[in-house]
Structures are given as C-alpha cells and as structure tokens.
Amino acid sequence: MPVFNQYDYEPLGTEDALRLIALDPAVDERDPLSCRIFQRRRSAQREEYSAVSYTWGEQSPSRTLEIRCDDDDISCVRITSNVDALLRRFRARDQPCCLWIDAICLDQTNGLEKTQQVPLMGRIYGEAKDVCIWLGAEDRMTAKVLKLLRILSRLPEIQPQWDMAGRVVFHLNEIFDRDDALIGLRFLHDFFLRSWLTRRWVVQEAILAREATVHCGRHSIPLLSISWAATRFLSLEVASYPINMATNLREPNTKRGILELLWYFHEAECHDPKDRIAALFGLVPDGNRFHLDYTAHWTGLYRQVASSAFGLDHSATNFQLLIHLFEFG
C-alpha cells in the first residue's frame, strides 16, 4: 500500500463557505477510495450535493481516503471503517459523486473551524439536494424487514388500535412465515435499535432534509416509509425511544423553541454535553435563534439558552421546561 502525506486543509475562505468532496467513481467496490476536496460559498451555491447522515462508530480512524490535489499530488485523510463502508456504498460506477460529510469536509483538527461550522449544520443538510442516511451493514433479515416496513407504511389509519395490531401481525406472518413471525418481530425491533436512531445529531439532519433515503448495506428505503411504518408498529405496544423518534421525522418542527426541542428529544444521545443543544440548533425558528457559542463550557451554553428563553417567553410552561433543561439538558 502506498504511503501518502496527511492532507493539509486549506482554511475556509469566507464565513458562508463549505467544503464538498467529489468522490471518484469505481467499478469494483474493492478499489481504493479517492476524491477531490473543493470549497463553495453557500450564498452562491450552484453545486448540487448530497449530505451524509451517519454515526461515527469507532472513534479511531483505521482506513485511508486518498485526496487528489490540484498540483497532481496525492494526500490522505484517515477515516473510520464505517465511513469507509458508506463511501464505498455511495460511490458511483461512472461519474464523480458530490457529497458533504463531516468526517472529511470539516478539518477535525481545527477547533475554531468546527465552532464556526456547527451552527450551520442544519442549513447544510437543509440545502442539500438530498440526505443519504447510512445505518451500517445489512444482516440476513434486512431485505424482509424493509419489505415489511414498506407494506406497513402504506396501511391506512385504522381504529381501534387492536385492529391495526392485527394487520401488523398479519403482514409479519406473511413475510416471515407464520413459524418465524416472532423472529421477524425481533429483527424489526432490532432494526429500530440501530445506533443512527438513537443519536442526537441525526434529528435535525433528517427533519430538515428535502428528501432522505435510508441505506442499510445494499438495501435502501425512503425515510418517510420508515417513519409511517413506525406509527403502525406502535400498535403492538413495543415502543422504544428510537421508534417514537422515527414517527416524528416526517416534517419540520418549525414552531418548537429550543426548550421544547430539548424536552421532546431528551433521550437522544450525544457524547459532548454541548451537543445536547448544538445538535438541535438547526430546528430552532429564526425568531427564537440565539448566538450559539460552541467554544463555551457546556454550563455557560446552558445558561445562555436559559437567558434567551426568559427573554422570549415567561410562561409557566417554559418555566417547567427550563427546570428540565438544568436537570437533563
């Protein structure tokens, strides 16, 4: 394997600049990954791109992405095995693929740049032509699970609830065979426990998308189909937070302030306490926006949100949500 120098990121030229990658095509999935990194201004954006929504998986990079530079030199960026897998899945066979993905398009060693880009995440995903959601590798039941989800998503609303539960069980038996229906139910439940559906950052990435497609190994399904299917799955009373979250990814929560968003998605996970706020910031309506200082300690950021909330509304409801903010974030 050739040895390349670490890619040296050129600083972003303007406040509204972002980097994109042009991922080189390949016929063979085993071919090395390579791309070109370039900058565009969001205000003058003519380059259509797909934004990638995923979870990092392991934190330590173990794979290499070749970067083709303008002077014909080749550098590299270290990436995780999960990023390696999704790039191979999204890579086209005959033409470059234009993507935005944080692991590559943000200089992960530049704290100041990350601070400047974090408040723009919602817009980056909202302005993409589509969002490609990566759940990871498929398992032996993925094809059947997605087939069931497509069927459930098309079911009309049925009352009472037990009639809907009966329809869900009928289709479970139909797809997984009657003897394997319980196994099918377990795989369906496990599908909703994939890490993407538990993470906090993906909430705004999915809700603000113009169009979103979920990819699991070689298989794919519209995010809307999963969201509608999740509402039918609730009739079996086996709900978990990921299932509940999936039901709420169909339309922008344009009227929810930051405190209500914090309450609504309080079970969504993140590593950095600051991300409990930053990961939802893109969903805050413009009239309720505040300056997001990602350099501040998380306690200072929480106080900033509390102060902003009191300045907007003194209602008893928001006071209760404020108590929750300091208890749970």
pLDDT of residue 209: 94
Tell me the three state secondary structure of residue 58: coil
Has residue 196 got a pLDDT over 80? yes
Beta partners for residue 174, in sequence order: none
pLDDT in tens, 161-191: 556 777 777 888 888 876 677 787 788 888 9
CA 321 to chain centroid, in Å, comes to 25
pLDDT of residue 199: 92
Sheet with 97-100, edge to edge strand ranges: 5-6, 74-79, 63-68, 34-41, 17-23, 97-100, 50-53, 130-136, 212-216, 219-222
Query: How high is the mean pLDDT of the chain?
Result: 84
pLDDT in tens, 120-162: 899 999 999 999 999 999 998 899 999 999 998 988 775 555 5
Predicted confidence band at 223 (pLDDT cuts at 50, 70, 90)?
very high
